[in-house]
Amino acid sequence: MSRIITVGAAQLGPIQRNDSRADVVERLCELMQKAHARSCDLVVFPELALTTFFPRWYMEDQDEVDTWFERTMPNNETQPLFNLATKLGIGFHLGYAELTQEDNETHRYNTAILVDKTGEIIAKYRKVHLPGHSEYDSNLSYQHLEKRYFEVGNLGFPVHRTMGGILGMCICNDRRWPETYRVMGLQGVEMVLLGYNTPAIGARTAESPHLRMFHNHITMQSGAYQNSTWVIGVAKAGNEDDHVLMGGSVIIAPTGEIVAQ
Ligand code: ING
């Protein structure tokens, strides 16, 4: 008996530094409505889908940094998205910056969650492969300070039996490393959900946009093929305060073929 999940890759446009969470959540709700109108069971949003890609900005004041993080999920700003999901009976994947207290210590992660059709958070993933650097680098045309603002994820690469299948998650740079897919593949994953915020232009190298898009797709296609799994890769794309993020969202079949882009 075939088990079908209808998935929407909800590529997001740019989020400006001054855009409010409420405005962004309104955009996410509109995309979720569109996904529902297309009979989606699941809609996948990108990495850091509630804010601009703030790791491009050098900040020294921890209070300023923490304005980019969510302390609870759902919270006042994101509750409308959870309510709509429950009303429409649609699951979703959402990337955001997580600030959490564990063992009386504050931790900060680049996080993604999987929410089922009842609006319940059934899985959480914290980004393991943090690219970039932790100190300001004047040689770069823009900063990429994920190593400064986030800790390495401490949840591994679990898979989850839900929606009739075995689903897993990763985030952005994770997609470039074969072990990301392999660890989930060895657990029988059937569909990997991931979001990304990838600069269209290299900060150090003058890599062509074509080559960056080639790397974007070949890493996800090989991960899919080598582990016989679906891969849903979703971009936040466009010009964020004069910094351009690339698009190229895809749905890739276990054969490694891009079936939607
Ligand atoms: N962004 C980029 C990514 O892995 C990057 C960083 C770009 C690494 C280009 C290597 C080459 O897609 C995030 N947020 O990880």
In 10 A of CB 134, how many CB atoms?
A: 12
In angstroms, rounded to a whole number, what is the distance separating the alpha carbons of residues 72 and 116?
18
pLDDT of residue 2: 82
In 10 A of CB 250, how many CB atoms?
A: 22
Express each pLDDT in 122-173 by its tens digit.
999 999 999 999 999 999 999 999 999 999 999 999 999 999 999 999 999 9
The amino acid that residue 123 corresponds to is A
In angstroms, rounded to a whole number, what is the distance separating the alpha carbons of residues 157 and 182?
10
Nearest-atom number in ligand 1 for the CA of 127 is 15
Which residue's structure tokens are 């700003």? 77
Nearest-atom number in ligand 1 for the CA of 53 is 14
Max intra-chain CA distance, the chain: 57
Say whether the peptide bond before residue 131 is cis (omega within 30 degrees of 0): no
| Ligand 1 centre distance from Cα of residue 207 (Å) | 13
Q: Which residues of 157-168 are buried (b: 16+ CB within 10 A; e: fewer)?
A: bebbebbebbbb
Question: What residue owns the CA closest to ligand 1's atom 7?
Answer: 198
Percentage of residues in the chain having pLDDT higher than 70: 100
In angstroms, rounded to a whole number, what is the distance separating the alpha carbons of residues 223 and 205?
25
Beta bridge partners of residue 166, listed in sequence order: 161
Statement: residue 207 has pLDDT above 90: no
| Ligand 1 centre distance from Cα of residue 98 (Å) | 19
